Structure 1
Amino acid sequence: MNNLVDCVLEDDRWADLQARADTACAATLTHLNLPADDFEISLLGCDDARIAELNADFRGKPQPTNVLSWPSDERAAEEDGAMPELPSADNPMDAELGDIAIAYETCAREAAEQGKPMEEHVTHLLVHGTLHLLGFDHIRPKDASLMEGLEVEILASLGIGNPYE
């Protein structure tokens, strides 16, 4: 049995990130009928300074953001609104889904601004990041609708309300 999430904490304020990530990432895979035990995700719990560096290096945007994802494979659907090509539990090459980084200060600020518990906001962002690793995106309108709908369903399964309301 694999550990689904390999969590590295660069910021001590992320004390409960491992447990939250295990729950959110497993719920995401389970919702898509993927066995969580067959996959791996690397997660970095960092601060705004570190995620700003990563955002600059990988996206050319030298400012902090809440979450970044680096899928191990290109799985996106060609047609707007279509399901991406999900990884196969039968293919060992699909086991590593990719990497996620999440920044404490930005998450805390957003949660406060939106009047949401930090734990629920972080869970949403972990579900969001995991969906990115699986090939979902929100650039095109139908893709965004598909991804947001899945987020709402997955969060509901965890007892968390619609983050888009």
Structure 2
Amino acid sequence: MPRASRLAQEAVLAALRAEGVQGAVNVLLTDDREVKRLNGLHRSKNKPTNVLSFPAEMPGFLGDIALALGVVRREARAAGKPLHAHLAHLVVHGALHLVGHDHLQAGEARRMEQAEARIMRRLALPNPWRGVF
């Protein structure tokens, strides 16, 4: 995926700026097998997922984000979304988790989705939730 590293960096920076947060974030762009391993190890789920976030408890370091590029490609294709836009959305989603957003409750989910849409607009990318509601 050309430009994936650069796009991931831009997406993280946009998310952190939007939230008024500073700190370092590692982004791992890897294959489904590695994310399946991480998902099993940390969440007891024996399958790959699109994105995982691992918040850190160290000053100046916010945490890690891991993306399964095969899953990301398949999801983008199935949803008819541009691959680069879907990748950026998932990085933004992961970064928002690192700064405290979640989507377990309906209200939290809505706030997180609105933050994602605003950040994607700042990146000049489509709203990932348009047409969902």
Structure showing the higher helix proportion among its residues: 2
**Could you state the TM-score of these two structures normalised by the residue count of structure 2?**
0.92
Cα deviation per residue 1:59-95 (whole Å; 9 max; x = unaligned)?
A: 111001000000014xxxxxxxxxxxxxxxxxxx531
Q: Which residue of 2 aligns with 1:149?
A: 114
1:11-59 CA distances to partner (integer Å, 9 max, x unpaired)?
Answer: xxx5522211111011111112234xxx111111111111111111111
Q: Establish whether residue 48 from structure 1 lines up as the match of residue 35 from structure 2.
A: no
Aligned to 1:163: 128
Instruction: For 2:7 and 2:108, locate their aligned partners in 1 and report how far apart those are by CA, in whole Å.
Output: 26
Structure 1: distance between partners of 2:91 and 2:3: 13
Contact 2:30 2:68 (8 Å CA) reproduced = yes
User: Which structure's CA Rg is the greater one?
Assistant: 1
Q: CA deviation at 1:159?
A: 1.1
Amino acid corresponding to residue 105 of structure 1 in structure 2: G
Same amino acid, percent of matched pairs: 39
Task: Give me the CA root mean square deviation.
Answer: 1.2
1:60 to 31, 44, 48: 44
Gaps of at least 5 residues in structure 1 are 1-13, 74-92
**TM-score, normalising length from structure 1?**
0.75
